[in-house]
Amino acid sequence: MEITQQRATVRDLDFAYLTCGEGPLALLWHGFPDTPNGWRPLMTALAEAGYRAVAPWARGYAPTAVPADGGSPIAAWVDDAIGFHEAFGGDEPAVLIGHDWGALMAYGAAGYAPERWRKLVVASVPPPAVIAAKLTQYDQVKSFWYQYVFLQPTAEGIVAADDLEFIRRLWGDWSPGYDASDDIGAVIEALREPAHLTAALHTYRSMYDMGLIPPQLIDRAMAVMTPPTQPTLYLHGASDGCVPGDPTAEVASVLAPGSSTRLLDGAGHFLQYERPKVVTDLVLDFLAD
């Protein structure tokens, strides 16, 4: 199955996206700092299984446009996912797949518009209720140091220095032992221009300052906090340097019946790059069940 790159206007924003196959919508969403390229092996498999796989570059990540207000709150990502469902999925329940910020988007879209999504697959970031409990643990607070950098007015200069060496180092810390040399170039390109980098950092800034979220999207932001009611597959890398440890038991305790959690050995935060066959097999088995 051939993956093609196309463009569409969704929620008045020009999005670039990858697509493959025909059938019910499988919407895949990346996180930070990333692009949809990590979904390519899974997209091909989903297409062969009878899905239309669609994986956008999130708002603000080139070649998707920067919004007119320069921001990219997670509430807008939730609204974007609903917009993509309207544009590509119609009334048919779709499956929603998200990693990192894409996982938080999936929790929000599933909570705000549950009738649109049959099943969820989320990776590397647990539901907010689980993350909130981990924020009392030193190891997790230490791992989130970069977020406090992003809140500073000097963050753009720090992250952009030496051709975004900060981003390369995050990948190394979050997926230790993984050689990302074939992957990181596309990530750098997505964030190299100042407006795109600021949009990506805005997702973090608006998480800590609700005043940065447009009032009409507050309900989407609140939906992120609700554990999904749909059957959900949660995947986590055993060597994840961003969300360390094994959260699968805690995640399982807040998920709906029919859900499953898996800890992947030999994988860190960017597990769809590190263990593509394992991820693909787990996702296809879960969706077929």
Give the C-alpha separation, 24 to 11, whole Å: 21
DSSP codes, 138-181: HHHHHHTHHHHHHTSTTHHHHHHHHHHHHHHHHHHHHSTT---T
**Which residue, among 139, 130, 129, 201, has the nearest Cα to 164 in the 3D structure?**
201
Q: What is residue 91's predicted lDDT score, i.e. its pLDDT?
A: 72
How much is the pLDDT for 26?
A: 98
Overall pTM surpassing 0.95 (yes/no): yes
Question: What is the enclosing helix (H) or strand (E) of 85?
Answer: helix 74-88
**pLDDT value for 111:** 97
So what's the pLDDT on residue 137?
87
* Residue range of the domain that includes 65: 4-288
Please answer whether residues 19 and 6 qualify as being in contact, where contact means their C-beta atoms are separated by less than 8 angstroms: yes
Please tell me the total count of domains within the chain. Answer: 1
Over the chain (289 residues), the average pLDDT of each successive run of 10 is: 96 98 97 99 98 98 98 98 92 92 98 96 97 88 96 98 98 98 98 98 97 96 95 99 96 98 99 99 96
CATH number at residue 83: 3.40.50.1820
Phi, psi of 71 (to 5 degrees): -100, 165
